Every structure is written in structure tokens, then in C-alpha cells.
Chains A and B, each alone.
Chain A
Amino acid sequence: MIDYLVPLILFFTCALALHKKENAYDLLLQGANDGLKLLISILPTLILLLTAVYMLRASGAVELLSSILAPVFRLFGIPPEAALLVLIRPISGSAALAVGADLMLQYGTDSLIGRTAAVMLGSTETTFYTISVYFGAAGIQKTRYAIPAALIADFVGFFMASWTVKLLF
């Protein structure tokens, strides 16, 4: 059923657009163009961050970090290999993308770690960035419990990502 979800979304959005007498193909092209611009704007970031991630991995720092944090991670059933991803996810979205992609490449997309990394990326957000954008735009200085509550949500995300992958695959 899930195999049909994306093709059906493609069909229904286009069919609905035609029904409303919109130029569906033209809109798709416009959007794809925007996507290309987005991609070009994140390309330099990806290059820089993946350089740093590769350096961390080659130097053995990632293994060191994982082995230090392993007891805590094992306690919650989170794979220690995902330590760097967990630490960087709330701070930088593109860095997390780089780290996650690297995990999937290293361990395989269908491995336990690769899948856990993918679910973590798909179900969490760049918490600190989001909070600073929203509260910054509204001129809120006293954020009260917003950061702790959001970090709890993140932690639940990392925890559940590990367990759903273990139980569903």
C-alpha cells in the first residue's frame, strides 16, 4: 500500500489541478525550478559539513565519542553509532543530514543503524534553529520551558526511532 502512496499523491494533485483548470505541468516545472535553487543554496553547506564529518570519522573521533556515550545510549536502546547524529540534530539541519547520509552509506540503507538514522532524520527537527526563528520573530526573550519541552520531544524521537526500527523491521 505504501508503495502506491507517492505515485497516488502525484496523480491526485495533478488531477485536482486540472479539475480546477490550473496548468499542472507548468506549476510542477516552477516548483522543480525552486527545488533546484534550494539545492544550490544548500550545496556549499553540504560540502563544508561533510568535509568536517569525514575528518571526524577518519580521525577516529566518532568511534571514540560512540564508545564514551555507548553505556548511556544502550540503556535506552539507541544504537551508539548514532551518537554524533543525536548530538548534532537539534543544532544544525544540514550537518545532521550530512551525518545521517554518512551513516546510511557506511552501514547500508537497510541496516539497523542506517534505518534508525533515516527515521531520526525524518521525525525530528532542528530544535534550536526553530525556536530561535519563532521566538526571534515575535520578540520573545523569556522562553520559559520551551527549550526543555522541545528537547524532551527530541529525545522521545530518538528513542522511538530506535525502537520502531527494531520492532518493525
Chain B
Amino acid sequence: MILSKIWTGMVLIAILAALFLGRGTHLGTSVLEGAQSGVTLAISMAGAICLWSGVGKLMEVLGLTRHLSRLLRPVLSRIFPSTRKDPKVANCLSANICANFLGLGNAATPMGIAAIRQMKRPDKPGLATDEMCRLVVLNTASIQLIPTNVAAIRASLGCAAPFDILPAVWITSACSAGLGITAAWFLGKVWQHD
């Protein structure tokens, strides 16, 4: 539903802006150009996406997330104190974060949902706890070792070194996750109810 509104809004804004700025001819041709470029983009990303999905499948079968999880435990117990008592939550949480890290989106989401369900408080089932908010912030900060989609787009546009952005991506997501968690910690202190 939300995309219906966004899409209609984008088209309407484009028409209004073209009328206002007198760029009707450009607007007309852009419709077909845009549709065509959707296909071009998808095809040019195809190779990288298929290859990386293959690697993802291997990582899944090999259980790499489980190995990575062990390294993560000390950090995790600081951000999520309840994982010290509850190994089930700890497993789901670390699997969620590690799967995100390796770019296995399909494996990450079910694990995150399982973790958040176990964090529910029986007395207040509809209320988000501090740990739930932190989990969501960690998931929206996208800590990923190799952002394949972006690298695929760059490669498809003829970039000589599509992976040269990796250090910048790592620094940026580390800062955004770190400050996001800090912000959540502060907000948790002042935002006690609802």
C-alpha cells in the first residue's frame, strides 16, 4: 500500500514539476527510458547476484553463522544482558547478526523474528522492550561484510574497482550501528512508558 502512494506521488510530482519548469518533452521520453533502464540494471546485476547467492548457499550449509556467533558472544551479552541467562535468545540473536554480516538476508530475518518473540514480556505483550529496540536498531544499521548489490551495480556501470568502497562502508556502518545503539540507550533512559 505504501509503495502505491509513493509511486503515484512520484509521478504526480514529476508532472507538476515538468509543467512548472516547462520540461514536457523531456518528461515524455523519460517514461520509456526509465522502464528500459530497469531491465538493463537487473540484467547487469544478474551475474553478481547469482554468484553471491551461490556463495551464500555454501555458507549456510557449512554453518558459518554458528562459528561466527561464538566470536560475537562477549559483545552480545553487553548489549543484550538477557542473553546471559537465556541461551535460546542468545543463539537466535547471534545467528541473526552473523547472517546479516555475511549478507544472508533470507536466513537473518527468521532468526531475528524468533529472537524478538522470545524477548516478549508476558505482562506487557504489546510493548517494545529496550532490548527489542536495540535489536531493531542493529538490524536497520546493516552491518555487512560485502554489500553485493551495490558492488554489482558499480561493476555493471564499468567501475574498475567496484570493491574499493568497502572500507568506507565498514566504517560508516560501524559508526551508524554504534551511535544508533548509544542513542537507543539514552532514549531508553528517558522514554520509560509507551
Mark A residues whose CB is within 8 Å of B. Answer: 2-3, 5-6, 9-10, 13-14, 16-17, 20, 22, 24, 27-36, 38-39, 42-43, 46-61, 64, 88, 91-92, 95, 97-98, 100-102, 104-105, 109-110, 115, 118-127, 130-131, 133-135, 137-146, 148-150, 152-154, 156-157, 160-161, 164-165, 168-169
Q: Which of A50, A123, A127 contacts B147 (CB 8 A)?
A: A123
Main secondary structure of the interface of B (DSSP, over half): helix
Known contacts: A104-B157, A134-B136, A146-B132. The answer to whether A39 contacts B42 by CB under 8 A is yes
Q: Say whether B14 contacts A59, CB under 8 Å.
A: yes
Q: Is the CB of B154 within 8 A of A149?
A: no
- Asked if B133 and A145 sit within 8 Å, CB to CB, the answer is yes
A120 to B183: give the CA distance in the assembly, Å.
20
**Closest A residue, CB atoms, query B117:** A138
Which residues in B have their C-beta under 8 angstroms from that of A34?
53, 57
B30/A58 in contact, CB under 8 A = yes
Render B158-187 as a binary contact track against A, CB cut-off 8 A, 1 for contact.
111111111111011101110110011001
The answer to whether A2 touches B172 (Cβ under 8 A) is no
- B172: contacting residue among A43, A53, A123, CB under 8 A: A123
Contact with A along B5-32 (1 / 0, CB 8 A): 0110011011111100101001101110
CB-contact partner of A149 in B17, B127, B137, B159, under 8 A: B137
Q: Is the CB of A152 within 8 A of B11?
A: no
| B: number of interface residues (CB 8 Å) | 98
26 chain-A/chain-B pairs, Cβ below 8 angstroms: A2-B166, A5-B166, A30-B57, A47-B42, A53-B34, A57-B30, A58-B29, A59-B13, A61-B16, A61-B17, A92-B6, A97-B153, A109-B158, A115-B165, A124-B142, A134-B116, A142-B127, A143-B128, A146-B184, A149-B180, A153-B140, A153-B176, A156-B176, A157-B141, A164-B167, A168-B168
Q: B3 interface residue, CB < 8 Å from A?
A: yes
A159, B179: Cα distance in complex, Å:
12
* Interchain CA distance A169-B171 in the complex, whole Å: 14
Residues of chain B contacted by A55 (CB below 8 angstroms): 10-11, 14-15, 27, 30-31, 34
- List, in ascending order, chain A residues with CB within 8 A of B135's CB: 134
B16 proximity list for chain A (CB < 8 A) = 59, 61
Most chain A CB within a 10 A radius of its CB, from B21, B31, B39, B153: B153
Q: Which residues of A contact B167 (CB under 8 A)?
A: 2, 164, 168
Given the contacts A53-B34, A54-B34, A160 and B23 also touching, CB distance less than 8 Å:
no
Contact between chains at B37 and A35 (CB < 8 Å): no
Q: In this assembly, does B150 line the interface, its C-beta being within 8 Å of a C-beta of chain A? A: yes
Any A CB within 8 A of the CB of B146: yes
Tell me if B21 and A60 are in contact (CB < 8 A).
yes
Contacts of A110 in B (CB 8 A): 159-160
Q: Given A105-B157, A118-B165, A152-B180 in contact, is the A27-B58 Cβ separation under 8 Å?
A: yes
